Amino acid sequence: MTERVSLYNEIHKGLRSQLLGLLIECGRTDPGDRDAVAALGVRLRALRGMLEEHAAHEDRWVEPLLAELRADIAEALSADHARIDGAIPTLEVAFTRWEEAAEDEQVTMGRLAYGALSSFVGAYLTHMGREEDEAMPVLQAAMTDEQLLEVSAQLRGAIPPPRMAEYISIMLPAMNIEERTQMFAGLKANAPREVLDGMCELASGVLATSDWSAVRNRVGL
Protein backbone atom coordinates (compact mmCIF):
# COMPACT_ATOMS: atom_id res chain seq x y z
CA MET A 1 0.00 0.00 0.00
CA THR A 2 1.45 3.34 -1.01
CA GLU A 3 1.49 5.95 1.72
CA ARG A 4 0.01 9.33 0.77
CA VAL A 5 1.98 12.52 1.37
CA SER A 6 1.25 14.06 4.78
CA LEU A 7 1.95 17.65 5.75
CA TYR A 8 2.15 16.69 9.41
CA ASN A 9 3.90 13.37 9.96
CA GLU A 10 7.53 14.37 10.18
CA ILE A 11 7.30 17.68 12.03
CA HIS A 12 4.77 16.20 14.46
CA LYS A 13 7.13 13.30 15.19
CA GLY A 14 9.83 15.84 16.01
CA LEU A 15 7.54 17.87 18.25
CA ARG A 16 6.25 14.75 20.03
CA SER A 17 9.82 13.69 20.70
CA GLN A 18 10.70 17.11 22.15
CA LEU A 19 7.56 17.38 24.27
CA LEU A 20 7.84 13.87 25.69
CA GLY A 21 11.61 14.14 26.15
CA LEU A 22 11.15 17.34 28.14
CA LEU A 23 8.38 15.78 30.24
CA ILE A 24 10.55 12.76 31.09
CA GLU A 25 13.54 14.98 31.94
CA CYS A 26 11.31 17.23 34.02
CA GLY A 27 10.02 14.24 35.98
CA ARG A 28 13.47 13.07 37.01
CA THR A 29 15.16 16.42 37.61
CA ASP A 30 16.29 17.12 41.19
CA PRO A 31 13.85 19.90 42.17
CA GLY A 32 16.54 21.59 44.28
CA ASP A 33 19.20 21.65 41.55
CA ARG A 34 18.91 25.23 40.31
CA ASP A 35 21.16 24.72 37.26
CA ALA A 36 19.18 21.68 36.13
CA VAL A 37 15.87 23.50 36.64
CA ALA A 38 17.19 26.51 34.71
CA ALA A 39 18.23 24.14 31.87
CA LEU A 40 14.68 22.77 31.75
CA GLY A 41 13.41 26.35 31.50
CA VAL A 42 15.71 27.00 28.55
CA ARG A 43 14.42 23.87 26.79
CA LEU A 44 10.80 24.81 27.50
CA ARG A 45 11.23 28.33 26.09
CA ALA A 46 13.00 27.03 22.96
CA LEU A 47 10.19 24.55 22.44
CA ARG A 48 7.62 27.29 22.99
CA GLY A 49 9.16 29.22 20.08
CA MET A 50 8.88 26.18 17.82
CA LEU A 51 5.29 25.41 18.81
CA GLU A 52 4.18 28.98 18.18
CA GLU A 53 5.95 29.11 14.83
CA HIS A 54 4.56 25.72 13.85
CA ALA A 55 0.97 26.82 14.57
CA ALA A 56 1.58 29.99 12.53
CA HIS A 57 2.86 27.89 9.60
CA GLU A 58 -0.24 25.71 9.75
CA ASP A 59 -2.53 28.75 9.99
CA ARG A 60 -0.85 30.34 6.99
CA TRP A 61 -0.33 27.38 4.67
CA VAL A 62 -2.79 24.66 5.64
CA GLU A 63 -5.79 26.36 7.23
CA PRO A 64 -6.90 28.25 4.06
CA LEU A 65 -6.90 24.99 2.06
CA LEU A 66 -8.85 23.20 4.74
CA ALA A 67 -11.30 26.09 5.21
CA GLU A 68 -12.44 25.70 1.60
CA LEU A 69 -13.00 21.98 1.99
CA ARG A 70 -14.22 21.56 5.58
CA ALA A 71 -14.75 24.89 7.34
CA ASP A 72 -15.87 23.09 10.52
CA ILE A 73 -12.58 21.19 10.88
CA ALA A 74 -10.55 24.30 10.03
CA GLU A 75 -12.39 26.28 12.71
CA ALA A 76 -11.98 23.54 15.32
CA LEU A 77 -8.23 23.37 14.68
CA SER A 78 -7.90 27.17 14.80
CA ALA A 79 -9.71 27.12 18.13
CA ASP A 80 -7.25 24.44 19.31
CA HIS A 81 -4.36 26.72 18.30
CA ALA A 82 -5.85 29.63 20.24
CA ARG A 83 -6.37 27.40 23.30
CA ILE A 84 -2.80 26.11 23.10
CA ASP A 85 -1.43 29.65 22.65
CA GLY A 86 -3.36 30.62 25.78
CA ALA A 87 -2.03 27.66 27.79
CA ILE A 88 1.65 28.21 27.02
CA PRO A 89 2.12 31.34 29.22
CA THR A 90 0.50 29.53 32.16
CA LEU A 91 2.94 26.68 31.68
CA GLU A 92 5.85 29.09 31.54
CA VAL A 93 4.70 30.76 34.77
CA ALA A 94 4.74 27.34 36.50
CA PHE A 95 8.37 26.87 35.42
CA THR A 96 9.35 30.41 36.42
CA ARG A 97 7.88 29.77 39.91
CA TRP A 98 9.98 26.62 40.16
CA GLU A 99 13.12 28.45 38.99
CA GLU A 100 12.57 31.24 41.51
CA ALA A 101 11.25 29.12 44.40
CA ALA A 102 12.67 29.41 47.89
CA GLU A 103 14.43 26.26 49.08
CA ASP A 104 11.47 24.98 51.08
CA GLU A 105 9.14 25.38 48.06
CA GLN A 106 11.25 23.76 45.35
CA VAL A 107 9.77 20.27 45.70
CA THR A 108 6.20 21.56 45.51
CA MET A 109 6.89 23.95 42.65
CA GLY A 110 8.69 21.18 40.73
CA ARG A 111 5.69 18.89 41.14
CA LEU A 112 3.31 21.64 39.98
CA ALA A 113 5.46 22.45 36.94
CA TYR A 114 5.65 18.76 36.03
CA GLY A 115 1.86 18.45 36.33
CA ALA A 116 1.30 21.56 34.20
CA LEU A 117 3.68 20.26 31.54
CA SER A 118 2.06 16.84 31.56
CA SER A 119 -1.41 18.34 31.00
CA PHE A 120 -0.06 20.56 28.24
CA VAL A 121 1.68 17.66 26.50
CA GLY A 122 -1.53 15.63 26.68
CA ALA A 123 -3.55 18.42 25.08
CA TYR A 124 -0.92 18.98 22.42
CA LEU A 125 -0.75 15.29 21.53
CA THR A 126 -4.53 15.22 21.16
CA HIS A 127 -4.40 18.29 18.93
CA MET A 128 -1.77 16.79 16.61
CA GLY A 129 -3.80 13.59 16.44
CA ARG A 130 -6.84 15.60 15.30
CA GLU A 131 -4.83 17.27 12.57
CA GLU A 132 -3.51 13.94 11.33
CA ASP A 133 -6.77 11.97 11.66
CA GLU A 134 -9.34 14.63 10.68
CA ALA A 135 -7.66 17.30 8.56
CA MET A 136 -5.10 15.31 6.60
CA PRO A 137 -7.57 12.80 5.06
CA VAL A 138 -9.71 15.72 3.82
CA LEU A 139 -6.71 17.34 2.16
CA GLN A 140 -5.51 14.03 0.72
CA ALA A 141 -8.94 13.32 -0.78
CA ALA A 142 -9.04 16.71 -2.50
CA MET A 143 -5.40 17.08 -3.54
CA THR A 144 -2.80 14.98 -5.34
CA ASP A 145 0.51 14.07 -3.70
CA GLU A 146 2.21 16.50 -6.10
CA GLN A 147 -0.03 19.34 -4.89
CA LEU A 148 0.61 18.43 -1.25
CA LEU A 149 4.36 18.32 -1.87
CA GLU A 150 4.10 21.77 -3.44
CA VAL A 151 2.41 23.12 -0.28
CA SER A 152 5.08 21.47 1.85
CA ALA A 153 7.84 22.98 -0.33
CA GLN A 154 6.28 26.47 -0.05
CA LEU A 155 5.97 26.15 3.73
CA ARG A 156 9.54 24.90 4.16
CA GLY A 157 10.83 27.49 1.68
CA ALA A 158 9.40 30.28 3.85
CA ILE A 159 11.52 29.18 6.84
CA PRO A 160 15.04 30.71 6.98
CA PRO A 161 17.68 27.96 6.41
CA PRO A 162 19.29 28.18 9.91
CA ARG A 163 15.84 27.77 11.51
CA MET A 164 15.00 24.96 9.10
CA ALA A 165 18.19 23.20 10.22
CA GLU A 166 16.89 23.35 13.81
CA TYR A 167 13.59 21.78 12.76
CA ILE A 168 15.37 19.05 10.78
CA SER A 169 17.59 18.38 13.82
CA ILE A 170 14.56 17.47 15.91
CA MET A 171 12.72 15.69 13.09
CA LEU A 172 15.41 13.33 11.79
CA PRO A 173 16.10 11.46 15.06
CA ALA A 174 12.33 11.04 15.54
CA MET A 175 11.75 9.64 12.02
CA ASN A 176 12.11 6.02 10.92
CA ILE A 177 14.46 4.71 8.25
CA GLU A 178 11.78 4.74 5.54
CA GLU A 179 11.09 8.42 6.12
CA ARG A 180 14.78 9.33 6.37
CA THR A 181 15.50 7.41 3.16
CA GLN A 182 12.67 9.15 1.33
CA MET A 183 13.89 12.55 2.51
CA PHE A 184 17.47 11.99 1.38
CA ALA A 185 16.49 10.29 -1.89
CA GLY A 186 14.41 13.38 -2.67
CA LEU A 187 17.30 15.68 -1.80
CA LYS A 188 19.71 13.61 -3.90
CA ALA A 189 17.35 13.80 -6.88
CA ASN A 190 16.27 17.45 -6.62
CA ALA A 191 18.38 19.59 -4.32
CA PRO A 192 21.50 21.56 -5.23
CA ARG A 193 24.72 19.77 -4.25
CA GLU A 194 25.53 22.19 -1.42
CA VAL A 195 22.07 21.70 0.13
CA LEU A 196 22.47 17.91 0.01
CA ASP A 197 25.96 18.19 1.53
CA GLY A 198 24.65 20.46 4.31
CA MET A 199 21.82 18.07 5.12
CA CYS A 200 24.22 15.10 5.17
CA GLU A 201 26.47 16.93 7.62
CA LEU A 202 23.47 17.76 9.79
CA ALA A 203 22.21 14.16 9.72
CA SER A 204 25.61 12.75 10.65
CA GLY A 205 25.58 15.08 13.67
CA VAL A 206 22.13 14.17 15.01
CA LEU A 207 21.80 10.47 14.09
CA ALA A 208 23.64 7.50 15.56
CA THR A 209 26.47 6.39 13.24
CA SER A 210 24.74 3.10 12.39
CA ASP A 211 21.40 4.85 11.68
CA TRP A 212 23.02 7.37 9.35
CA SER A 213 25.07 4.75 7.48
CA ALA A 214 21.88 2.71 6.96
CA VAL A 215 20.29 5.73 5.24
CA ARG A 216 23.42 6.36 3.17
CA ASN A 217 23.48 2.76 2.02
CA ARG A 218 19.84 2.80 0.98
CA VAL A 219 20.07 6.13 -0.85
CA GLY A 220 23.56 5.59 -2.29
CA LEU A 221 25.23 8.58 -0.71
Judged by the rule CB under 5 A, the positions of this chain that interact with Fe ion are: 58
User: Degrees (nearest 5) of the Cα angle 172, 176, 179?
Assistant: 75
> Measured from the CB atom, is 10 or 58 closer to Fe ion?
58
Nearest distance in Å: CB 90, Fe ion:
19
Nearest distance in Å: CB 177, Fe ion:
26
No. of helices (H) and no. of strands (E), the chain: 11, 0
> Measured from the CB atom, is 58 or 211 closer to Fe ion?
58
Distance of alpha carbon 59 from alpha carbon 51, whole angstroms: 12
Nearest distance in Å: CB 12, Fe ion:
8
> Measured from the CB atom, is 126 or 217 closer to Fe ion?
126
Distance of alpha carbon 218 from alpha carbon 185, whole angstroms: 9
> Measured from the CB atom, is 130 or 216 closer to Fe ion?
130
CB 102 within 8 A of CB 109: no
Distance of alpha carbon 10 from alpha carbon 16, whole angstroms: 10
Nearest distance in Å: CB 124, Fe ion:
9
- Closest residue to bound Fe ion by CB: 58
